[in-house]
């Protein structure tokens, strides 16, 4: 798209404007739900940001599953809501001037544009050593077609949760993913009002070289949700079924390639999917990595914990495992954050190490509890942990993916 007229006049002040990439956005409504000042809104076409309301708090950045929200333009005159509703792709950065037409003004414009291109002020960035992800190769209009080559129940037959491991093969279609990325699944059919079902995102549970090494396939960990259209569709898939896939998505929740990076992983339920991918990656290509991997995994009971059996076989030297069970009869309820406090010595050593990366994936409800536990473990007051967390975020070493 050509730059539009939003360059304004040379005398206008420059302003940074928060915009949403309509090509990547999957219309999941997360940004609109998250925005504390109601600056995000939508019509049938696009999700958009009201420049007069947005206060750059950045609360919407990390929950966005695709990164569509992390886009910025430096403008003289802000794009209106109607401008944005009409976009089918983001406009290019327009030519702008910072007031007087001199060199300093051009420098200021250049600085702002460079800052805008870096994304949300360093709040959500990939680990420095992560491989370059490919994103948004396939969309609703042009999905990749995968074939189901396996589907297995991961929880015990009598478990409350039906969690499945589903393997999708892409045949001759290129579908490159990195550990930590997600894909979109399109359930066929339409909802009660005749609209096609929304794309749903699922974390990839296998490493970049495939569920089976060097196969063009990947695995998902999917829990059947009551009334969940897409989760029921996936959990009911049979071998040989063909599935429409979009993505890949996600450019920040990625695994460091650096073998000396320590990886602290905290999850509940199907939030374990990316961590299975991380662990398999290390096991396959960096078995003797000096960096340590530690997992805190919460589930109702062992029978409900996805990959319980296979996880027992992963050596402690490769992955230090801590399981927190909340509903074992006769035993007190334990959440991941409780167990982290119990293992404060081990966690503290990792937190103090400059090459440690923290990843949190699973129920949004655990965010505060885990944050409080990390604050208690790292220092007596929350301030020390808040400072370290900000530093780790800016360094691409602190990552949240909760829902």
77 binds ligand A2P, rule: CB under 6 A = no
277 binds ligand A2P, rule: CB under 6 A = no
Cβ contact 241:331 at 8 Å: no
DSSP for 163-203, please give it.
EEEEEEE-TTS-----TT-EEEEE-SSB-TTSPBPPEEEEE
Cβ contact 283:263 at 8 Å: no
- Write out the binding residues for ligand A2P, residues 325-344 only, by CB under 6 A: 326-327, 335-337
299 binds ligand A2P, rule: CB under 6 A = yes
Residue written as token pair 């536990």? 373
Q: Find the binder of ligand A2P among 6, 124, 161, 206 (CB under 6 A).
A: 161
Question: Where are any strands of DSSP class E within 291-363?
Answer: 293-299, 320-325, 356-362
Cβ contact 341:377 at 8 Å: yes
Structure tokens at 229: 């259209």
363 binds ligand A2P, rule: CB under 6 A = yes
Nearer to ligand A2P by Cβ, of 292 and 301: the residue is 301
Site track for ligand A2P across 103-142, x = CB under 6 A: ----------------------------------------
Q: How far is the CB of 26 from ligand A2P (least distance, A)?
A: 23
369 binds ligand A2P, rule: CB under 6 A = yes
Q: How far is the CB of 14 from ligand A2P (least distance, A)?
A: 43
Nearest residue to 119 (alpha-carbon basis) of 2, 249, 247, 18: 18
Q: How far is the CB of 305 from ligand A2P (least distance, A)?
A: 9
Nearest residue to 357 (alpha-carbon basis) of 62, 130, 60: 130
Nearer to ligand A2P by Cβ, of 46 and 161: the residue is 161
d(CA 75, CA 78): 6
Instruction: Classify each residue of 337-367 as buried b or exposed e, where b means 16 or more C-beta atoms within 10 Å of its C-beta.
Output: bbbbbebeebbbebbeeebbbbbbbbbeebe
Site track for ligand A2P across 30-59, x = CB under 6 A: ------------------------------
Q: How far is the CB of 223 from ligand A2P (least distance, A)?
A: 7
Q: How far is the CB of 298 from ligand A2P (least distance, A)?
A: 4
Q: In which element (H, E) is residue 222 found?
A: strand 217-223
Size of the site for ligand A2P (CB under 6 A): 16
Give the residues lining the site for ligand A2P (CB under 6 A). Answer: 161, 268-269, 298-300, 304, 326-327, 335-337, 363, 365-366, 369
């Amino acid at each position: 798209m050509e730059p539009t007229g939003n360059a304004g006049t040379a005398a206008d002040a420059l302003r940074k404007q928060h915009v949403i990439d309509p090509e990547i956005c999957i219309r999941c409504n997360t940004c609109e739900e998250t925005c504390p000042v109601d600056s995000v809104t939508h019509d049938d076409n696009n999700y958009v940001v009201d420049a007069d309301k947005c206060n750059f708090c950045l609360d919407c950045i990390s929950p966005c599953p695709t990164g569509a929200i992390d886009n910025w333009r430096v403008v003289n005159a802000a794009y209106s809501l109607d401008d944005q509703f009409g976009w089918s792709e983001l406009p290019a950065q327009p030519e702008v001037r910072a007031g007087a037409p001199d060199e300093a003004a051009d420098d200021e414009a250049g600085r702002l544009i460079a800052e805008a291109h870096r994304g949300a002020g360093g709040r959500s960035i990939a680990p420095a050593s992560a491989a370059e992800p490919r994103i948004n190769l396939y969309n609703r209009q042009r999905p990749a077609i995968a074939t189901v080559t396996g589907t297995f129940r991961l929880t015990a037959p009598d478990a409350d949760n039906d969690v499945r491991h589903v393997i999708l093969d892409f045949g001759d279609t290129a579908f490159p993913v990195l550990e930590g990325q997600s894909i979109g699944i399109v359930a066929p059919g339409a909802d009660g009002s005749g609209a096609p079902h929304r794309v749903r995102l699922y974390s990839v549970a296998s490493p970049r070289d495939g569920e089976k090494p060097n196969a063009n396939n990947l695995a998902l960990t999917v829990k059947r949700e009551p009334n969940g259209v897409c989760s029921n569709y996936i959990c009911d898939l049979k071998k040989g079924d063909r599935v429409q896939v979009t993505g890949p998505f996600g450019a920040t929740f990625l695994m460091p390639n650096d073998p000396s990076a320590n990886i602290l992983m905290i999850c509940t339920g199907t939030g374990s999917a990316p961590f299975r991918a991380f662990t398999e990656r290390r096991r396959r290509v960096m078995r003797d990595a000096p960096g340590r991997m530690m997992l805190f995994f919460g589930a109702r009971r062992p029978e409900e914990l996805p990959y319980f059996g296979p996880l027992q076989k992963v050596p402690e030297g490769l992955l230090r495992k801590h399981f927190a069970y909340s509903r074992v009869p006769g035993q007190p309820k334990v959440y991941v954050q409780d167990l982290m406090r119990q293992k404060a010595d081990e966690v503290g050593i990792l937190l103090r190490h400059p090459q440690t990366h923290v990843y949190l994936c699973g129920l949004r409800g655990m965010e505060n509890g885990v944050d409080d536990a990390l604050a208690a473990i790292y220092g007596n007051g929350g301030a020390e942990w808040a400072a370290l967390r900000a530093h780790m975020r800016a360094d691409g070493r602190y990552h949240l993916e909760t829902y």
